[in-house]
């Protein structure tokens, strides 16, 4: 059935007008914002009925359905937390979703001095909720590896529940503590005599604030252990220093910044001091002895590594250990402290590729390391004694793997694979195209080998999905995508461009496609579509654009601006009306990304590309 044959439900146009910055803005479908109105309900029911009628004609062949299921069920894993046990043994805790499992569980692996390993399930959400609606959201091993703190959430809620298990006995030692939002956990270890769990909890009297509590195992809640209330923010993270003397709290600021507070753990009450707050930049802090190791983009859009004295030091006085590299972005820093010269394990991203380096913390000098320069995504760096760095790796056709890097030798191996997926039949090509203003943009393209020439070009235009995002500094680096692999195996092509607004090339790439520059994101996406058509990868009647959330906004803007380029658009959970998004629950947090209607210049930019306004202006 062609689009011209489809009769969509009628939506009445009204004369509603808003006045923004002195400008009259027509909004003919404002009545649809009233969810409870009879007209809105009737229109939604008509839309649902149309979808139900059309979807009955869509059939996925049995072999295609089986392929998608097979590729979805391969499992996944995350880098472990590692603790030293008595007798030279180690305990590792890592997340794993087994092939076919509905949720991720936590695996505990004990390794003896001789290397013999025993493995067990530390926590499985299905044991407490067989419906699969409860998921594991976080975990933390105490410094000596005996106690395991678990946080879970149900039905996608922002609020989590905290429990603590004694791994030696298997008993739950802290019953469920619920109602925790933005929570994270750390530990205070009193010379191995007692262990205390430290966690973030909301203030009962203030919705905009949280405090930090301590729970000594085997006793009652000690209560607040801080002299300062912290602001309630998403992404709050509490971490111990390696020597157990410092506690670091990190929280989001706006959408791209991260603020940091530090406090002493080897005192009674913890007095948090702002370490770096309110700069608008992003900071991650690790502590080695009394020295803070700071991964920051303050004054360095692609990131740098500095050291600073604790508890506080003016950022202008930080010592730069690893300077900004204009060609690539630092994405992660792990510190291996157990040697006279601690080692920095740095993960880098250069567009759509990842790599790792080992550097001296003292002077930034490079150490030899295995070649891990790959067209994929390396992330999750964490260090453990005596000299290991743990990473995760994935690409378009490789499910997640856990890599172990030995900093003493520079060698790396695959410690754990979620699954082996044959991929010799799939070719991953990185191409470059030129956007409207002359900017060169890279793009990943996947296709089946037998559909390409020996030079790697398509033999004929392929049914192609162009997946877009381009926002919030999120990098669309290669990650395992079952739907992409299935689409390619069925004879199509899958393309993912690094649109401006993302973070593939650091903070400047993000800034170039945000705020009043947001139209560049859509220009990059349109240029990607034109490249795919002009180079023979696809044709307009065989090209679809796909986007979700901010990517849904991108796909919508591209479609309404250049509808002739696409035969289909798959738009999931998007923003459409960019003159009203600030009225949503989280909209105010997105102003730095999109702009605000309260500013005349930003309003003008929004009017120039907002999909809703563009669509109704076209009739």
In a domain, 515, yes or no: yes
In a domain, 79, yes or no: no
**Residue at a domain's end among 388, 421, 454:** 421
342 plus 481 within the same structural domain: no
515 plus 409 within the same structural domain: no
Distance between CA 436 and CA 530 in Å, rounded? 11
Q: Which residue has the higher pLDDT, 123 or 231?
A: 123
Share of the chain above pLDDT 70, in %: 94
Return the structure tokens found at 462.
């392929």
Q: What is the pLDDT of residues 89-133, one digit of tens each?
A: 999 999 999 887 888 999 999 999 998 999 999 999 999 899 999
Q: What is the pLDDT of residues 287-309, one digit of tens each?
A: 988 899 999 999 999 999 999 98
Do the Cβ atoms of 467 and 479 come closer than 8 Å?
no
Domain range holding 352?
Answer: 326-421
DSSP states of 152-163: EEETT-SEEEEE
Do the Cβ atoms of 441 and 500 come closer than 8 Å?
yes
498-525 mean pLDDT: 96
Q: Which residue has the higher pLDDT, 169 or 526?
A: 526
- Going by C-beta distance under 8 Å and a sequence separation of 6 or more, which residues neighbour residue 65? none
Instruction: Provide the mean pLDDT of the chain.
Output: 90
pLDDT of residue 249: 87
CATH code for the domain of 527: 3.40.50.1820
**Residue at a domain's end among 381, 406, 421:** 421
> Nearest 5°: phi and psi at 502?
-85, -170
Distance between CA 501 and CA 506 in Å, rounded? 10
Q: How far is CA 328 from CA 250, 282, 480, 534, 546, in A?
A: 24, 17, 22, 30, 28
249-276 mean pLDDT: 81
28-38 mean pLDDT: 95
524 plus 432 within the same structural domain: yes
Q: How far is CA 466 from CA 275, 452, 539, 545, in A?
A: 43, 18, 12, 5
221 falls in which pLDDT band (50, 70, 90)?
A: very low
Lowest mean pLDDT among 169-178, 245-254, 512-521, 540-549: 245-254
Do the Cβ atoms of 165 and 171 come closer than 8 Å?
yes
461 plus 415 within the same structural domain: no
pLDDT of residue 338: 65
Number of domains forming the structure of the chain: 2
444 plus 413 within the same structural domain: no
pLDDT of residue 65: 84
In a domain, 150, yes or no: no
Centre a 10 Å sphere on the Cβ of residue 272 and count the other Cβ atoms it contains.
21
433 plus 560 within the same structural domain: yes
555 plus 439 within the same structural domain: yes
pLDDT of residue 270: 76
In a domain, 221, yes or no: no
> Nearest 5°: phi and psi at 381?
-65, 130
Distance between CA 67 and CA 90 in Å, rounded? 39
Number of H helices, E strands in the chain: 10, 38
Closest CA to 353 of 390, 380, 333, 378: 378
In a domain, 263, yes or no: no
19 falls in which pLDDT band (50, 70, 90)?
A: very high
Q: What is the pLDDT of residues 62-88, one digit of tens each?
A: 888 889 888 988 889 999 999 989 888
In a domain, 478, yes or no: yes
Closest CA to 85 of 54, 118, 44, 58: 118
Closest CA to 406 of 380, 384, 376: 384
In a domain, 280, yes or no: no
329 falls in which pLDDT band (50, 70, 90)?
A: very high
pLDDT of residue 419: 87
Q: How far is CA 221 from CA 21, 192, 212, 213, 596, in A?
A: 53, 19, 12, 8, 44
407-433 mean pLDDT: 92
233-255 mean pLDDT: 79
403-410 mean pLDDT: 93
400 plus 495 within the same structural domain: no
Dihedral angle over CA of 351, 354, 359, 361, nearest 10: 70
475 plus 352 within the same structural domain: no
331 plus 465 within the same structural domain: no
- Going by C-beta distance under 8 Å and a sequence separation of 6 or more, which residues neighbour residue 406? 387, 388, 412
Q: Which residue has the higher pLDDT, 223 or 523?
A: 523
**Residue at a domain's end among 391, 421, 451:** 421
In a domain, 23, yes or no: no
Q: How far is CA 506 from CA 120, 202, 329, 403, 473, in A?
A: 40, 33, 6, 25, 8
414 plus 431 within the same structural domain: no
478 plus 352 within the same structural domain: no
Instruction: State whether residue 593 is helix, strand or coil.
Output: helix
Angle (CA) 610 611 612, round 5°: 95
Q: Give the predicted TM-score (pTM) of the model.
A: 0.90
Of all helices (H) and strands (E), which one includes residue 607?
A: helix 600-609
pLDDT of residue 227: 46
Closest CA to 105 of 148, 63, 142, 68: 148
Of all helices (H) and strands (E), which one includes residue 367?
A: strand 366-367
């Amino acid at each position: 059935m062609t689009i011209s044959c489809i009769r969509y439900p009628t939506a009445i146009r009204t004369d509603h007008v808003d006045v923004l910055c002195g400008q009259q803005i027509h909004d003919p479908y404002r009545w649809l914002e009233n969810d409870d109105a009879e007209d809105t309900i009737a229109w939604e029911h008509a839309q649902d009925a149309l979808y139900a009628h059309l979807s009955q004609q869509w059939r996925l062949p049995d072999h295609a359905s089986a392929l998608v299921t097979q590729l979805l069920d391969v499992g996944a894993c995350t880098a472990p937390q590692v603790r030293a046990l008595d007798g030279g043994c180690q305990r590792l805790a890592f997340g794993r979703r087994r092939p076919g499992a509905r949720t991720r569980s936590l695996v505990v692996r004990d390794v003896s001095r001789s290397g013999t390993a025993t493995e067990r399930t530390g926590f499985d959400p299905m044991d407490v909720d067989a419906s699969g609606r409860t998921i594991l959201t976080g975990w933390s091993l105490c410094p000596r590896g005996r106690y395991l703190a678990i946080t879970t959430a149900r039905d996608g809620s922002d609020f989590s529940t905290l429990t603590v298990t004694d791994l030696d006995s298997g008993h739950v030692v802290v019953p469920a503590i619920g109602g925790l939002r933005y929570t994270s956990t750390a530990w205070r270890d009193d010379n191995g005599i007692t262990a205390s769990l430290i966690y973030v909890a909301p203030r009962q009297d203030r919705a905009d604030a949280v405090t930090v509590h301590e729970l000594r195992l085997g006793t009652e809640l000690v209560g607040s252990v801080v002299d300062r209330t912290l602001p309630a923010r998403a992404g709050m993270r509490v971490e111990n220093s390696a020597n157990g003397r410092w506690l670091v709290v990190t929280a989001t600021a706006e959408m791209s910044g991260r603020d940091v507070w530090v406090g002493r753990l080897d005192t009674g009450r913890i007095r948090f001091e702002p370490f770096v707050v309110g700069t608008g930049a992003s900071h991650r802090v690790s502590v080695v002895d009394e020295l803070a190791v700071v991964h920051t983009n303050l004054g360095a859009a692609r990131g740098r590594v500095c050291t600073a004295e604790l508890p506080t030091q003016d950022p202008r006085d930080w010592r730069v250990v690893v300077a900004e590299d204009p060609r690539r972005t630092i994405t992660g820093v792990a510190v291996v402290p157990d040697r006279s010269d601690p080692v920095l394990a740095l993960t880098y991203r250069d567009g759509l590729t990842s790599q790792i380096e080992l550097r001296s913390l003292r002077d930034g000098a490079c150490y030899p390391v295995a070649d891990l320069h790959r067209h994929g995504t390396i992330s999750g760096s964490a260090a453990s004694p005596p000299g290991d760095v743990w990473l995760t790796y994935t690409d378009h056709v490789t499910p997640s793997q856990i890599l172990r890097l030995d900093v003493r030798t520079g060698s790396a191996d695959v410690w754990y694979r979620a699954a082996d997926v044959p991929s010799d039949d799939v070719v991953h090509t990185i191409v470059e195209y030129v956007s409207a203003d002359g900017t060169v943009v890279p793009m990943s393209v996947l296709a089946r080998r037998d559909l390409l020439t020996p030079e790697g070009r398509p033999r004929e235009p392929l049914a192609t999905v162009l997946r877009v995002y381009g926002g919030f500094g999120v990098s669309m680096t290669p990650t395992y995508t079952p739907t992409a692999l299935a689409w390619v195996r069925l004879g199509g092509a899958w393309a993912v461009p690094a649109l401006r607004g993302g973070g593939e090339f650091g903070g400047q790439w993000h800034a170039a496609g945000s705020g009043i520059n947001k139209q560049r994101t859509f220009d990059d996406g349109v240029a990607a579509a034109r490249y795919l058509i002009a180079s023979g990868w696809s044709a307009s009647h065989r090209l679809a654009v796909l986007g979700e959330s901010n990517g849904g906004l991108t796909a919508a803007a591209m479609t309404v601006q250049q509808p002739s380029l696409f035969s289909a658009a798959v738009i999931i959970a998007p923003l459409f009306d960019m003159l009203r998004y600030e009225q949503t629950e989280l909209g105010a947090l997105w102003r730095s990304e999109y702009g605000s209607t309260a500013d005349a210049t930003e309003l003008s930019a929004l009017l120039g590309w907002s999909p809703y306004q563009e669509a109704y202006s076209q009739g």
